[in-house]
Amino acid sequence: MNYPEFKQPLNYGQVGTDILAWWKQNGIFEKSVSTREGQPTFVFYEGPPSANGAPGIHHVMARTVKDIFCRYQTLLGKQVHRKGGWDTHGLPIELQVEKELGITKEDIGKKISIEDYNQRCRETVMRFKAQWDDLTEKMGYWVDLDDPYITFEPEYIESCWALLKKLYDKGLLYKGYTIQPYSPAAGTGLSSHELNQPGTYRDVKDTTVVAQFKVKRDEKSEPLFGNVQLDEVPLAALYGDNASEPDVYILAWTTTPWTLPANTGLAVGKNIPYLLVSTFNPYTYAPIRVVLAEALVGKYFSVKGKEASFEDFKPGDKVLPWRIENTFKGADLVGIRYERLFGQNKGYPAFEGEENAFRVINGDFVTTEDGTGIVHISPTFGADDFRAAQLAGVPALLVADDEGKLGPIVDRTGRYVAQMGEFGGRWVKNYDGHDESGADYKTLDESIAIRMKGDGTAFKVEKYEHTYPHCWRTDKPVLYYPLDSWFIKTTAVKDRLIELNKTINWQPASTGTGRFGNWLENLVDWNLSRSRYWGTPLPIWRTQDGTEEICIGSIEQLNAEIDKAVAAEVMTLNPFVKNVIQGLVVNDFGWVSFKDKQGNVYEGSFLSKPELFNGNTVNFKDRKLGGDIYSIDVSSIDFSTLKRHIRNSDGEEKVESIPLTFGGADLHRPYVDDIFLVSPSGQPMYRETDLIDVWFDSGAMPYAQWHYPIENEGQFQKNFPADFIAEGVDQTRGWFFTLHALAVMLEDSVAYKNVMANGLVLDKNGNKMSKRLGNAVDPFATIQQFGPDATRWYMIANAQPWDNLKFDVAGITEVQRRFFGTLFNTYSFYALYANLDGFQAREFDRTPHAELSELDRWILSKLQSLILEVRGHYDSYDPTKAARAIQDFVTDQLSNWHVRLSRRRFWKGELTADKRAAYETLQECLVVVSQLMAPIAPFFAEWLYQNMTNGMRAEAIERNTPLAAESVHLTLLVEADEARIDKSLEERMELAQRISSLTHSLRKKSVLKVRQPLQRILVPVFNDSTRAQVALVEDLICAEVNVKHVEFLDDASGVLVKSVKPNFKRLGQQYGAKLKAVGARIQQMSAEEISTLEKTGQLAVEIDGEAYTLAPDDVEIRTQDLPGWLVATDGPLTVALDVTLTDELRQEGVARELVNRLQNLRKDSGLEVQDKIRVTLQQQPELEAAVQSFGGYIREEVQALSLDFAPEISGGAVLEFDEFSVPVLLNVATA
RNA sequence: GGGCUUGUAGCUCAGGUGGUUAGAGCGCUACACUGAUAAUGUAGAGGUCCCUGGUUCGAGUCCAGGCAGGCCCA
């Protein structure tokens, strides 16, 4: 048997398993890379997943996308290395460990050592690696799992350090601050995780103040002083004697009055409407004008006040009179300057940048839900404040402490610094546990409010209940407070980031311009600092006073610095030494040798018992039998001489040096924290305790995966930048950004040329999948059940990867049935008949293209078009369209038309030239389809390819043809042979399909089954080309719909009834508003008018008294009816069916019925396709007539050597059809 | 709250630059076909194209505002 045959239904899961085993056995993935050696490369970066959880179905989606384009590029002949990777650091892992250990961050270093804690993290992070690897294999994602980069390995961290140093040397790394939740009582910052603990947000009653900020009169603020008088009351009349213009104040509300002395700006919403209102201060009763949001006027001013007289207002009156003077948009107010609330004149300190402070700025967070619609900005005590101020160039109010170090007006214990005038030293909240019940107790907020009332700068003071976060440990209120942080100055390269982003091909484009582009436009500096334990440590050491610092870029440099520090006696011992020695004890390998600094030679091994280290000394046993045990001071060891001696099983000895850096060196905390360096001036330097953002780790992978820039420059250069990356859209500001930012800063280049951001995988109802809701889909079970191909195909074909996918297994079933089932059937069909005929396709001596039938040339033309189309879609990173095009070709064109119409060719008779051509055509289609689908459905494609080509392999290898490749994934994708594309042929086949469909529809209406032959169909045609086109496919149509002829009707026949439809597109352009009338007139055209238009090429009509000349292009003429005929239409195409039945047609119909029943009988009797039979029917006149005319046909169809009648038949079957009931005897012909 | 994104038949999705009668597959119903048969053909039912307003002779398509879902950020 040349072509393997399979039972229906095919077990797709098994196909996956079998192919996977074969790939492994034959190293196909490795070959897919190695056979492309020397070819152009296609660089792909694997975004490292974290293996601390089980993989989900969405990972199958993301990895399918990655896999598709890597496989496709391989098919194009490129070499595609795919180095895997693991993301191993970060908060999720720490939290998981803490949960498992039942501890909190506070316990680290107390209940558990940092060392042990990090060890737990290291063990936890790879816990699910086996599952991940398993899924990777089973789903057919080809990536190198044997040599992945792992972000916690010392080489990887060292690369990160080297990159940080490069940034540091470029001046892009600096220490600043961010506003973070801070607990003065605990003296520590709080993570958002800690802030989300239950019970941290509580209702508290605070003193709140609506403060008045006095506007400085200048060019910018002049409109506020202009006397617009919306309420049409002259100013003088308003204030009576106080006719001089009252001051203008901007109102801003705060629930934390203690931040008011730190105010440096006011934020407005640029689209929010604001009012200028004339009124009086409720405490000093001075006439004032105030600015606030229109929407909030009702909150501060009563209806009564709007009517109240200004002249009659006197101190003590409850109702404040008020009038609206003018309206503004927030944008109009931006830039206005105002006076400092607590200024130097009142004893408050000056600060740097003061000239840029006290301005109105834009704030996108401003709302009119509460307050005044204007937000008081104190950049040191609010994250929004800080950001808005930074964007607008407004400085923070910082004062110098005793050492000259700048800081906020509140110290880290929660008190005002001494410089704060009358309030200096006051607690901003009750952090000192002061008794609040005392009559004279006043909070700082209250004191400030009282002061402001007196100064006339408070417009409203009241107690207000709101929720406020509290420290979960101390129960004291949290402050938003500036904490030290290290930053990468991404804003310095902002323009370049934007510029280079425009050269990246984003899929979908909107993510690049929108989500990512906007993010770049509003870029702030990258906050690198994390106060955590399990991550890449920041390699910066500083002196206590911060005046001297060093950024370490390599372990070599670090060792050199350590040596200096040891020499300067800042440290007694290089902490890595212990690490190395520990490693040598743990790894049982043989023995070591070294010299001490005096040159004495030692040979032997370190002893771990009773304890490895006693201070800095270690026990060492001489290798001589019964040798002495020394106690050695490790600081005396000359580590450059340290070697280990390994004896293998053959007794061969291997000697290797042990670098101090690796082989046990751990660059994590706490080890790096134990390193103290010495500054040039001789001061000790301590490491900044921060870790760096894990996103830096992943963004550094283009460099760190090769241990670049420490080594492997060539590797790096060859693989930078990436041609393609793909991850979820949630990575836009994560990995996509960090890759881009680092590439621009370090290499002035993009990091990737093409990027796909895929969407989420939701459950079938559109809800997010989660373990908690129990709607998560198990990827292993899915692949097991449906096979990897149907799963992948469904995900790709159903929705474009960047749209969210509603995952429904019913969809996989459908794909499996409709696409894979059809393709499998088509293959089985081919295999069945090819095997019967002993046919084996060859690459040589094939039927010349010109000699192929219309049908064959058509499907091959379609195939070439498909190759073009699919390549185009893959090239433009649109796998969905590629999948859909392949699917439509296989189901609609190949199976449902070409194979269906070719069935007789396959099963009839000997291996003729036409049959051979049919095999060759189908064979070519199937092989090409296997290639085209290979990126998406790699297993099934392999299955199909091998089944189709294994019989050709030997010759292919011998003659070195494309099919020499043992795997479809090692082939080169066929190029479309455009010479074989025949658009005209494709067009007429479509006509044949549509005419057939219409004819079927007519048969159905007339209840004339297809088995009943009919004489003819009539097709009206208006032009010769259509006529010629249809004539060429007449045979196909006749065979498909079982009629004898296709006849054409043209105008000359005189029986066509035409109708006309306005061509609105053309008419609209020509007549515009008149179109309606013209269109109506066209629809009323008479037969004569249509005829005139056709013959003369124009038609004069009158519409609403105006003359128009219609051209043929203005209308679409079609035939809709043939009087006396049953017709069906599809757009411009019309078909009429001649339903006249002659005796001969009837007889042929009977003959066909007979054939059909006999075939069924054959099949029911279990006969094989090739068995011959003898048939005897019971006599019946009508049957005999039919057999007389069509006996030869019947015998041939049912492969009967004889077809006879007998007067009486018993014991056989009875054929029933139409009004017949025929006893029959069927025997297998033995000879 | 901001940015981005999605909304078309029961379900999943198509619908360049606006053109009047909005399509496909699945599912459903009926009929047919039967040497691919757990396949296939034909027909039918099924739509306020999320809503409101605007531009236009004409809007699923363009504009504005809203609603709902999603993601990211605050």
Provide CB contacts within 8 A for A923, sequence distance 6+.
A830, A841, A948
Residue A943's pLDDT is: 95
Which residue type does A822 have? T
Tokens of residue A586, six digits: 């743990």
Assess contact for A858 and A992: CB atoms under 8 A.
no
Q: What is the pLDDT of residues A988-1032, one digit of tens each?
A: 888 888 888 888 888 877 777 778 888 888 888 777 778 888 888
- Band (pLDDT 50/70/90 cuts) for residue A38 is very high
Q: Which residue is nearest to nucleotide B21 (CA to C1')?
A: A1131
A384 noted as active-site residue: no
Q: Which amino acid is at A942?
A: E
d(CA A408, CA A482): 8
| pLDDT mean across residues, chain A | 85
Token couple for A155: 């080489």
Going by their DSSP bridges, the two strands A1043-1049 and A691-692 should be labelled as unpaired
Q: For residue A153, what are the contacts with CB-CB under 8 A and spacing of at least 6?
A: none
| Interatomic CA–C1' length for residue A203 and nucleotide B4, angstroms | 35
Q: What is the pLDDT of residues A432-445, one digit of tens each?
A: 777 777 777 888 88
**ipTM associated with this complex:** 0.88
A736 within 8 A of A701, measured Cβ to Cβ: no
φ, ψ for residue A474, nearest 5 deg: -105, -10
- Tell the burial category of A282 from Cβ atoms under 10 Å away from its Cβ (0-12, 13-18, 19+): middle
Catalytic residue, chosen from A23, A48, A212, A349, is: A48
Give me the DSSP letters along A666-698: --STTGGGG--EE-TTS-EEEE--PEE-HHHHH
State yes or no: pLDDT of A656 exceeds 80: no
The single-letter DSSP state of residue A338 is B
Per the annotation, the verdict on A92 as an active-site residue is no
Q: How far is CA A8 from the centre of its chain?
A: 37
For residues A22 and A29, give the distance between their C-alpha atoms in angstroms, rounded to a whole number: 11
pLDDT, residue A663, reads 45
Gap from A800 CA to B53 C1', in Å?
33
pLDDT at position A1052, please? Answer: 66
Please say if the pLDDT value at position A650 is more than 50: yes
| Length, in residues, of chain A | 1231
A212, two tokens: 């008045």
Pairwise CA distance, residues A730 & A529, whole Å: 21
pLDDT by residue (tens digit) across A362-397?
Answer: 887 787 777 888 889 998 888 888 888 888 888 989
Could you tell me the distance in Å between the CA of residue A937 and the C1' of nucleotide B42? 33
Indicate whether A652 pLDDT > 80. Answer: no
Nucleotides of chain B touched by protein CB (<7 A): 1-6, 11-14, 19-21, 25-26, 31-43, 56-58, 69-74
Taking the CA of residue A1129 and the C1' sugar atom of nucleotide B19, their distance in angstroms comes to 22
Express the helix, strand and coil content of chain A in percent, nearest 5 each. 40, 25, 35
Alpha-carbon torsion (A338, A343, A345, A350), positive or negative = negative
**A253 part of the active site:** no
Q: Which two tokens stand for residue A637?
A: 């060891």
Looking at residue A659, its pLDDT comes to 61
Structure tokens at A556: 């070599």
Question: Which one-letter DSSP state was computed for residue A476?
Answer: P
| pLDDT value at residue A660 | 58
DSSP code, position A385: H
Query: For A685-713, what is each residue's pLDDT tens digit?
Result: 999 988 998 899 999 999 999 999 999 99
The pLDDT of residue A162: 96
Question: Residue A241 class from Cβ within 10 Å (0-12 exposed, 13-18 middle, 19+ buried)?
Answer: exposed
Confidence of residue A244 (pLDDT cuts 50, 70, 90): low
A621 catalytic? Reply is no
* pTM summary value: 0.84
CA A787 to C1' B56 (Å) is 53
- Catalytic option among A86, A541, A735, A793: A735
CA A540 to chain centre: 35
- Model pLDDT for residues A1034-1071, shown as the tens digit of each residue: 888 888 888 888 888 877 666 677 777 777 777 777 77
In the predicted structure, residue A978 carries a pLDDT above the cut 70: yes
Of A158, A101, A147, which is closest to residue A124 (Cα–Cα)?
A101
Percent of chain A with pLDDT over 90: 27
**Mapping DSSP to helix (H, G, I), strand (E, B) and coil, where does residue A287 land?**
strand
SS (H, E, C) A167-216: HHHCCCEEEEEEEEEEECCCCEECCHHHHCCCCCEEEEEEEEEEEEEEEC
Amino acid (one-letter) located at A518: N
Least confident residue range of A80-84, A542-546, A761-765: A761-765
Q: Which nucleotide is nearest to A1198 (CA to C1')?
A: B35
Are A1185 and A1177 spatial neighbours (Cβ–Cβ below 8 Å)? no
- Per-residue CA distances from A608 to A568, A582, A592, A671 (Å): 30, 8, 14, 20
